A and B are shown apart, each in its own frame.
Chain A
């Protein structure tokens, strides 16, 4: 499932330079910065994020929407806040 790049991501976190597990930590810190139902995205070069963001969503009962790419090609992981 690829998110629409034009979709309204309420907040995008730039975690490009961060090693694991910082991208997931940033995600947790900023979850409540978006409203329930809104999208939150993490841009991360850390290869662990591809597994850890969906795993975090499963553990914290949030909705993993999918991965796409930022304009510079960096992987972007999109999450919907559900609680």
Chain B
């Protein structure tokens, strides 16, 4: 049971990166279905940076700095994800492309880029993962409490910090107010003197950078540096999580753990056939569908997606 909870938290935090990133993006009115691809790109950039760093340091016979070994991949991931976000925004904001089509194209592109960049059999990533998994020294002394709360790598805590900060910015700052206005009603925001395109570009890029961290966290933290599973599965789950948590990053902290748990539940229940396991993996999506049904049935304006989500904005059309 303990192993299950710890595992659920780890996978959950991977999802949390994705869903926080997507929430920021969606608050600007961009429905970015490219998240799975962006997570792949993020993970690939991070891992590739880690590979270069470790390789160069080891070849010179120097010591690996454990802080740099985490910081460099994280920065590379953020940059890689953000570049994908800029690409998405360029297509949808500047060139007025359809957001859904663009998003799906970005997913396909991202998966392809990651396949091209990463040699999945290379063991160097496992070496790098060790730095990500380093946990607080006293965790093992606190029994189950330490195991659940303190045994994780740095990315798990980063995910929570980002979610909390995002929630604060969205609801408590002027920037958040403006961003939400852009996603709800860009024409109104424009009339109020807010630069809609700029907000969409920046929010999407930041969101994609954060989502990219989800990919890195999945490989380096959850899979210990193994590229054995495809990341894009997790990407779709992250998008579903955004809906499940009704566009609230602070809800997502709990929601992501529930999703993580549901996704891996099959592995911890004995006597489930292989086909049955796949059925279990569907649970998060089924829950999402149920949430969608409920939110739309109650038609509470509070828990609805941003009103102009997925809609382009051209000033001339007002």
The answer to whether A and B belong to the same complex is: no
On B, residues with C-beta under 8 Å from A are: none
On A, residues with C-beta under 8 Å from B are: none
